[in-house]
Structure 1
Amino acid sequence: MKEYKRHDYREIELYKDVPEEDWNNWKWQLRNVVKDIDTLKKIMPIDESMEQDLEKCLEKFTMAITPYYASIMEKDYPRGVVRLQAVPTINELHVAADDQDDPLHEDVDSPVPGLTHRYPDRVLLLVTHICSMNCRHCTRRRMVGDHDTHLTRESIDKCIDYIREHKEIRDVLLSGGDPFTLTDDALEYVISKVREIDHVEIIRIGSRTPVVMPQRITDDLCNMLKKYHPIYVNTHFNHPDEITADSKEACERLANAGIQMGNQTVLLRDVNDCPNIMKKLMHELLRIRVKPYYIYQCDLSVGISHFRTSITKGMEIIENLRGHTTGMAVPTFVVDAPGGGGKIPVMPNYLLSQSDRRFALRNYEGVITTYTQPEEVFSNCGRCNICKESDKQYKPLDGVAKLLSGEKLYLEPANLKRRKRD
């Protein structure tokens, strides 16, 4: 079995005298996050030009790098793929024409402060504004770093009340900031309150701590989480170099507690915009028991346009994965649509043409084949009790699916001009 690298933090002058007990304590890691240039200069070489750029950038955006993540940053060249995700650059001061503070309209779709309800049966609960590290490509940089606070108990209770009152909600995603920056007791308060709600079926947690501060994934944390199954954790590895012996142990500790792990990768220029890098990342994730879940097109947040690639680059990556490796290693490539449109999957075109009887398809090798539909193509749906249930909880609540179910004949914009004519 492959051995993953364990970086020796003592090679960095700043940390050479730090006791191992402190280094492996996540609270020490949080207390010693790198936030200023003088500290950063003790970790990596910074010339005068770079220092001037950093000063300008830090006037607008904050920096926070955990000592652990600093210890795995490349030391020998300025454009290392780990370093690019952690150290600010002057590129962040460029505001592209389409940049937005809240491109996904999470604030717009928020009926209660701290909670976003966009999709019919699930909500996003932002339990904190604090992250252990300020990733340079963060889509929520409008709040993370500027407001270093957790959501108050009163605010959390209001969010819980909203979830309790809306019985269509079956899935609650805890995010932030990073929920794992909360203490075990504070996090358990939120999880236990959500778990008390009968109609909530699953709880998910979005966290980058297994990547940037794996020391946080303690036995105590895992033992607390497994009391509230089903619990799912989605983490955020962007490059194979982020997978170390420490991050592997963190992910396996969660998996051993019965927590299913997924990964959400962001497609980043000069970091992972290469089919070979992405294939290696997906393979390495499976080795540490993390299922590739999404590859995201980089969002339109202010100051991160230099990270954005073409959408076709993401399609190319999927083309190099689908059929070329196990299906378990093929995530869904999505564009999280500006304006709150949600995640839209984008993939290469495998359907070439069709008639009323046959579909012409091609596979990953370029082989073109046909699938013939049966003569009797109509499904006799609606026979069983699932469709007949009085509460209709499995019926589509909105969108094109309602057209296909026959519940609606058409959809139209709310402010259609011809509907307002006298």
Structure 2
Amino acid sequence: MDRPAAAALGADLRKHVALQPADLVPDGLISPADAAALRPVTETFRMRITPQMRTAITRADDGVGLQFVPDRRELNVLPSELTDPIGDGAHSPTKGITHRYPDRVIFHVTQVCEVYCRFCFRREVVGENGVLPAGDVAAALDYIRRTPAINEVILTGGDPLSLSPRRLHEITTALAAIPHVGLMRIHTRVPVVAPNRITPEMIAALTAPGLQTWLVLHTNHPQEFIPEAVAALDLLRTAGVPLLSQSVLLRGVNDSVAVLKSLFTTLLRLGVKPYYLHHCDLARGTSHYRTTIAAGRALMRALRGQISGSALPTYVLDIPGGFGKVPITADYFDGGADGRWQVTDPNGGTHIYHDPE
């Protein structure tokens, strides 16, 4: 893709315009014949790719292309797949807040991302609206103020770093003014997929006196680390922002020892501690991305003998229905015959999880 075209696309993306399959034809990522056939996919699940990730894709079926280029298999929705697979709505006391655990809340500050991942567990709502309206932000902050058990606020969306530095600074300073809130975690893809947004103004907006900020980078494949992304991570690290990562185990993208080893060791070398490896959630139209739990556990066993423990994330499952996140270990998982698992949640409840056939 030539640079003028990338710049024009970047202008469109700043207006939060979703792409259509035909937009990927000039890059050879979608054939003209497939463009029309893929329209129902993008009409159901929005498509958005930054210029930086367009340059990182060498072909539609590589480790980056598979994450962002639409696929007809997305229209294959299984009965087990859910509109809200991790149960955000079941734990929402006010708009913009998910309060699943006593000491922390998720604050959905926007529904906009710089890229729309084809496997996203919030793919039904991402891009539907823009930033959380001011009245809802005020109500969310009021809920946090009157709930003293809350020590940590996790900004998510959408992607919090798609906000302007001014708006992000307003949220950061408001949280810092709440005496019982000491931690803010930001879940984002921006430093890799839109590294141009990591400016001194954005970095300044991440912190406020009395509030410890952690940035959790979502990345799934070492091919995502283009030079601009490496530079953005260096800026954050130099500014003293602690960096963690979370990845999703995706069939065909990173479900091999070689790719995961490269991903995790690259992250550690860039100053990012691998934190979570998520088993792919039961989002609608994502069955072609999911591995089995047994396959994921085998990968983690193989990795443990090949890379440093500091480079190993925790392999986790968000139990469908909103019952919480648990490590996929023998302490939480029993069974496995015919893909049927009994999963114990943090409160001792048990749930049945079925692997894809």
Say yes or no: does 1:159 pair with 2:140.
yes
Matching residue's letter, 2:185: R
User: Which residue number corresponds to residue 177 of structure 1?
Assistant: 158
User: Which residue number corresponds to residue 334 of structure 2?
Assistant: none
| Equivalent in 205, 212, 227 of residue 245 of structure 1 | 227
| Equivalent in 243, 257, 269 of residue 275 of structure 1 | 257
| Equivalent in 30, 33, 44 of residue 60 of structure 1 | 44
| Runs of at least 4 residues off by over 6 Å | none
Say yes or no: does 1:35 pair with 2:16.
no
Greater mean alpha carbon deviation, residues 156-165 or residues 65-74: 65-74
Q: Percent identity?
A: 36
Matching residue's letter, 2:50: T
For residues 279 and 33 of structure 1, do their structure 2 counterparts lie closer, same or farther at Cα, with a shift above 3 Å needed?
farther
Alignment of 1:96-107 (within 5 A): 96-107=78-89
Q: State the Cα deviation string for residues 228-287 of structure 1 (Å, max 9, x = none).
A: 441101011101111121111111111111111111000000000111210111000011
Matching residue's letter, 1:41: V
User: Which residue number corresponds to residue 301 of structure 2?
Assistant: 319
Secondary structure in 2 matching 1:321: helix
For residues 249 and 27 of structure 1, do their structure 2 counterparts lie closer, same or farther at Cα, with a shift above 3 Å needed?
farther
User: Which residue number corresponds to residue 69 of structure 1?
Assistant: 53
Tell me if structure 2 keeps the 8 A contact 1:275–1:316.
Answer: no
User: Which residue number corresponds to residue 357 of structure 1?
Assistant: none
Q: What is the alpha-carbon root mean square deviation over aligned residues?
A: 2.3
Secondary structure in 2 matching 1:108: helix
Secondary structure in 1 matching 2:158: coil
C-alpha distance in structure 2 between counterparts of 1:284 and 1:292, whole Å: 10
User: Which residue number corresponds to residue 347 of structure 2?
Assistant: 399
User: Which residue number corresponds to residue 330 of structure 1?
Assistant: 312
Tell me if structure 1 keeps the 8 A contact 2:159–2:189.
Answer: yes
Alignment of 1:256-405 (within 5 A): 256-347=238-329, 399=347
Secondary structure in 2 matching 1:289: coil
Q: CA deviation at 1:120?
A: 1.1
Q: State the Cα deviation string for residues 350-397 of structure 1 (Å, max 9, x = none).
A: xxxxxxxxxxxxxxxxxxxxxxxxxxxxxxxxxxxxxxxxxxxxxxxx
| Equivalent in 173, 184, 189 of residue 208 of structure 1 | 189
Q: CA deviation at 1:337?
A: 0.5
C-alpha distance in structure 1 between counterparts of 2:151 and 2:109, whole Å: 18
Secondary structure in 1 matching 2:23: helix
User: Which residue number corresponds to residue 90 of structure 2?
Assistant: 108
Q: CA deviation at 1:55?
A: 1.6
Tell me: higher relative CO, structure 1 or 2? Use CA pairs within 8 A at least 6 residues apart: 2
TM-score (norm 1): 0.75
Q: How many pairs are equivalent?
A: 336
Matching residue's letter, 1:181: S
Q: State the Cα deviation string for residues 70-117 of structure 1 (Å, max 9, x = none).
A: 111114xx4111111111110100011200000111011100011000
User: Which residue number corresponds to residue 197 of structure 1?
Assistant: 178
Secondary structure in 2 matching 1:335: strand
Secondary structure in 2 matching 1:102: coil
C-alpha distance in structure 1 between counterparts of 2:11 and 2:183, whole Å: 29
C-alpha distance in structure 1 between counterparts of 2:160 and 2:327, whole Å: 27
Secondary structure in 2 matching 1:35: coil
Matching residue's letter, 2:302: N
Tell me if structure 2 keeps the 8 A contact 1:30–1:66.
Answer: no
For residues 18 and 159 of structure 1, do their structure 2 counterparts lie closer, same or farther at Cα, with a shift above 3 Å needed?
closer
Q: CA deviation at 1:317?
A: 1.8
TM-score (norm 2): 0.88
Q: CA deviation at 1:300?
A: 0.4
Q: State the Cα deviation string for residues 122-179 of structure 1 (Å, max 9, x = none).
A: 000000011111110110012102x131001110110111011010000100000001
| Equivalent in 211, 223, 236 of residue 254 of structure 1 | 236
User: Which residue number corresponds to residue 120 of structure 1?
Assistant: 102
Secondary structure in 1 matching 2:144: helix
Secondary structure in 2 matching 1:284: helix
User: Which residue number corresponds to residue 340 of structure 2?
Assistant: none
C-alpha distance in structure 2 between counterparts of 1:179 and 1:96, whole Å: 31
Q: CA deviation at 1:220?
A: 1.4
Q: State the Cα deviation string for residues 22-74 of structure 1 (Å, max 9, x = none).
A: 89xx7675248661233221222532442233122123121111111111111
Unaligned runs of 5+ in 2: 332-345, 351-357
C-alpha distance in structure 1 between counterparts of 2:76 and 2:153, whole Å: 35
